[in-house]
Amino acid sequence: MKYSNFFLPTVKDAPSDAEIISHQLMIRAGMIKQSSAGIYSWLPLGLIVLKKIEQIVREEQNNAGAIELLMPTIQSSDLWIKSGRYDDYGKEMLRITDRSGREMLYGPTNEELITDIFKSHINSYKDLPKNLYHIQWKFRDEVRPRFGVMRGREFLMKDNYSFDIDENSAKNSYDNMFKAYIKTFIRMGLTPISLRAETGPIGGSLSHEFQILAKTGESTLYYDKKLETLNMNTIDPNELQSFYAAVDDQHDEKNCPISKDNLKISKGIEVGHIFYFGTKYSEKLNALVQDKKGKNIPVHMGSYGIGISRLVGALIEAYHDEKGIKWPLEVAPFKLSIINLMPEDQDCDTKSMEYYEYFMKNNIEVILDDRNCSIGKKLSDNELIGIPFQIIIGKRDLKDGLVEFKNRQTNIVEKIPIDNLINFINTILTK
Amino acid sequence: MKYSNFFLPTVKDAPSDAEIISHQLMIRAGMIKQSSAGIYSWLPLGLIVLKKIEQIVREEQNNAGAIELLMPTIQSSDLWIKSGRYDDYGKEMLRITDRSGREMLYGPTNEELITDIFKSHINSYKDLPKNLYHIQWKFRDEVRPRFGVMRGREFLMKDNYSFDIDENSAKNSYDNMFKAYIKTFIRMGLTPISLRAETGPIGGSLSHEFQILAKTGESTLYYDKKLETLNMNTIDPNELQSFYAAVDDQHDEKNCPISKDNLKISKGIEVGHIFYFGTKYSEKLNALVQDKKGKNIPVHMGSYGIGISRLVGALIEAYHDEKGIKWPLEVAPFKLSIINLMPEDQDCDTKSMEYYEYFMKNNIEVILDDRNCSIGKKLSDNELIGIPFQIIIGKRDLKDGLVEFKNRQTNIVEKIPIDNLINFINTILTK
């Protein structure tokens, strides 16, 4: 992509109501634009990242055997009245009356609808276990939307639902998703910490939330320091679930079961939540399956959510410095940026285009900054949008047969002979 | 994918309110499930097709230089009041009041919002032309939703918006999209016919609609028969726009400008619509750009829509027989189905798995029908869901060293020696 053909409107100052760093940086880097309170348009750069995160989540769901479908955003109130949640949900649910006077709502979650789909088509233990997911926009009418996409009203979420014949099997499904979640967050370059959680309005008896570590995170986490490395190595759900981990208001220093030496305190951001709630919805919505003895019993269910749009903000909270974003390679909007400092110079232009065309041909995601603007703005914009690897092409360096290479993670700049550059990039990209 | 792990609930009978064949077949093939009037869940098979169509549309938009972003589903009424369409749209617009009493709406189209994004970031002829698109769910509160996904209330649409400095340049952008549309529909295996159209509530002076040919289509088209072949060969927008084409109520037999010999009459389905409306929205929303002389002038705009969810229905209307769907290869949910007639037989099972694993390893989209059900149900379900190439593995054939190959387009079945099968499939897939 050439910058001049793209639509990447960086902004000098963040609006004053952008309280947290990810919100500020997303506005400044031209990733989002607010359209109403808590509702955003995803500009091209933001959308690329959103889609990369969505795709990682999708692939790990598929790897775990979950099947993708897609439920609509607008639902009828009928099923919610049956489940008892139409009143429970209160004002956070966006309620709508259609032209015929029917009560509708913008789905904040989908336990009711998926249970209805399940029961229309599955009625035997032979078709279990089943795990169905979708990735769809949700709406929660927050009283005070803030923090940009971290607590927006319209947000993108992956939610899935497991169906099992009994509690034992349901715990397997739960652990299977637990494992998929750890893998998902690690693939994005994040460090997840899993914590036993309250079940809240979803209901049920077993629940974990997943936080990712970020210095500017909203929660304070207290956990066994082994969790950080165990995550990366043995993803055994039962083992991970056995370690101590608590958020602020759960942690009691005096009664902490682990020693001070093993306890680590970090800031975190919640990005996922999983629930086992047994037969709560299947009983109310009459989702029965025949067991081996021919008896109709309510199916055991769990639900599992990952905040996809929230993760864009969470990743920035985890990876930034005072100059801007530092994308991990796996979710970066482009892996490479070629910064032509002097587009009006023939040599700079030729060399930039030569590299650009090579990387394009080899399907390496690259953006060519070919704008006519000051060198200072060009360098600071590229720091701001945080492309991991940056090739800086200037007139003086070129005369010496060199280009600059900047690693945005370390901010180290080195000079590379022009003929070595492509080999050099290919090597770091395959590391 | 193995059928036994998938969620593909075929249904024997379509509901009585499913009037048209695509609606009947989508329900029967387990592609969609209605959740409310005109609102559907996309079951896994339907979603795969929807995403394939979406991806073709996306690729052809990108090829034409359009840039993807994503606007939200819920909008504030503010901009619509400014543009004057808040009242114009009437009851078809789904209006919502949020918890703070603000008037919101579920976007039926996005001229207002995109103009607002444009004007916040672009103010010079130097940044033009620009073409921005998104693929997002829309809602139109139809008085009588029907025909399944063909006239649903919640539907997926690609809409884009071009911005140009003057009318000449805007006509280039229009023609560029015109060409992209023809290419898009041809890639899906469809025959598009472009017709001069009324601009309706979008406004403006120039508009074309795109119909695709289908025997069961809703409109009757009268057009120069050269259009069908010209589409495929020279996609020259000006040439295509010069040929005669009219729908039912535009066509007047007595005053038809072409001879009866050249006139063709076919049934069609509208799947796309493009508009040039000049400065209608930019004036009202104050979207000005500086021209070469430094004067601020309202930007010239066009908008372009493709009904992505509607295309799923349209494709079925174009490609089906009395037994079910006949997917064109490019949009088929799977290219290949391996139908194991006797999963309990060791030889059938081994051979099916051998083929299945080979195609999976080679990234050929394949579904293995490993269900324990009658041979009759297995064959008729596979005809219904319409996978283009079907490999049928039965006990008796296997003993003779043969498997059956069925081409769902022609319904011709032939016996293939088991050792030739993989070569045979590779050959037809690369044709």
Among the listed residues A371, A374, A378, the one whose alpha carbon sits nearest the alpha carbon of residue A392: A378
Distance from the A90 Cα atom to the nearest Cα atom in chain B, whole angstroms: 10
Contact flag B132-A7 (C-beta cutoff 8 Å): yes
pLDDT at B204 > cutoff 90? no
In chain B, the residue whose alpha carbon lies closest to the alpha carbon of A114 is: B41
pLDDT-above-70 percentage for chain A: 99
**pLDDT for res A234:** 75
**pLDDT tens string A48-91:** 999 999 999 999 999 999 999 999 999 999 999 999 999 989 99
Whether the link from the prior residue into B333 is cis, omega within 30° of 0, is no
| Chain B hits for A39, Cβ within 8 Å | 72, 74-76
- Contact criterion met (CB < 8 Å) for B106 and A74: yes
For residues B247 and B262, give the distance between their C-alpha atoms in angstroms, rounded to a whole number.
16
Q: What pLDDT does residue A85 have?
A: 93
The predicted structure's pLDDT at residue A229:
84
Chain A 101-120, residues with CB within 8 Å of chain B CB atoms: 102, 104, 106, 113, 116-117, 120
- Whether chain A has a CB inside 8 Å of the CB on B371: the answer is no
**Per-residue pLDDT for A201 more than 70?**
no
Q: What are the structure tokens assigned to B258, written together?
A: 């072409």
Tens of pLDDT, residue by residue over B213-228, are 999 999 999 999 999 8
Q: Which residues of A touch B50 (CB under 8 A)?
A: 70
Report the percent of chain B where pLDDT is more than 70.
Answer: 99
Checking if the pLDDT of B83 tops 70, the result is: yes
List CB contacts (< 8 A) between A122 and chain B: 9
Whether A76 and B7 lie within 8 Å, measured CB to CB: no
Q: Which residue of chain B is at minimal alpha-carbon distance from A28? A: B121
Q: How confident is the model at residue B191 (pLDDT cuts 50, 70, 90)?
A: very high
Test B39 with A75 for CB contact under 8 angstroms. yes
**B6/A40 Cβ within 8 A:** no
pLDDT tens string A292-337: 999 999 999 999 999 999 999 999 999 999 999 999 999 999 999 9
Contact B137 A132 (CB under 8 A): no
Q: Which residues of A touch B154 (CB under 8 A)?
A: 72-74
Q: Do A91 and B99 touch (CB under 8 A)?
A: yes
pLDDT averaged over chain A? 95
Picking from A296, A305, A286, the residue whose alpha carbon sits closest to that of residue A115 is A286
Domain boundaries, chain B: 21-321, 334-430
* pLDDT at residue A394, rounded to an integer: 97
Residue B249 has pLDDT above 80, yes or no: yes
Q: Is B255 on the interface with A (CB under 8 A)?
A: no
Looking at the predicted structure, is the pLDDT value of residue A202 above 70? Answer: no
Asked if B360 has any chain A CB less than 8 Å from its own CB, the reply is no
* pLDDT attached to residue A431: 78
Please indicate if any CB of chain B lies within 8 Å of the CB of A63: no
Residues 6+ apart with CB under 8 A from B429: B329, B335, B364, B389
Q: Does residue A196 sit at the B interface (CB-CB below 8 Å)?
A: no
Mean pLDDT, range A114-118, rounded to an integer: 97
Global confidence as pTM: 0.97
Q: What mean pLDDT is predicted for residues A159-169?
A: 97
pLDDT tens digits, A357-414: 999 999 999 999 999 999 999 999 999 999 999 999 999 999 999 999 999 999 999 9
Q: Looking at residue A249, what is its pLDDT?
A: 87
Range among B5-19, B165-179, B238-252 rated most confident = B165-179
> Is B155 part of the contact surface with chain A (CB cutoff 8 Å)?
no
Chain B residue numbers touching A47 (CB-CB < 8 A): 68-70
CB proximity A94 to B under 8 Å: yes
Cβ-defined contact of A33 to B5 (cutoff 8 Å): no
Task: Please judge whether A44 and B68 are an interchain contact, meaning their C-beta atoms are less than 8 angstroms apart.
Answer: yes
Contact B76 A35 (CB under 8 A): yes
Residue B232 has pLDDT above 80, yes or no: no
Q: Please identify among residues 13-32 of chain A the ones whose CB lies closer than 8 Å to any CB of chain B.
A: 30
How confident is the model at residue A15, as a pLDDT?
Answer: 86
pLDDT of residue B197: 86
The domain made up of B21-321 is a member of CATH 3.30.930.10: yes
Confirm whether A21-321 and A334-430 share one CATH topology.
no
pLDDT at B33 over 90: yes
**Would you identify the CATH topology of the domain B334-430?**
Rossmann fold (3.40.50)
Per-residue pLDDT band at A231 (split at 50, 70, 90): confident
Asked if A121 and B154 come within 8 Å (Cβ–Cβ), the reply is: no
DSSP assignment letter at A347: H
Residue B300 is predicted with a pLDDT of 97
Could you give the 3-state DSSP secondary structure of residue A136? Answer: strand
Q: For the residues A270-297, what does the mean pLDDT come to?
A: 95
Residues 6+ apart with CB under 8 A from B281: B83, B111, B112, B115, B287, B301
Give how far B18 is from chain A: nearest CA, Å.
18
Mean pLDDT within A162-180: 97
pLDDT-based confidence at B201, cuts 50/70/90? low
Residue of chain A nearest B100, judged by CA positions: A143
Taking an 8 Å cut-off on Cβ atoms, the answer to whether A132 and B70 are in contact is no
Q: Do B30 and A121 touch (CB under 8 A)?
A: yes
Average pLDDT along chain B: 95
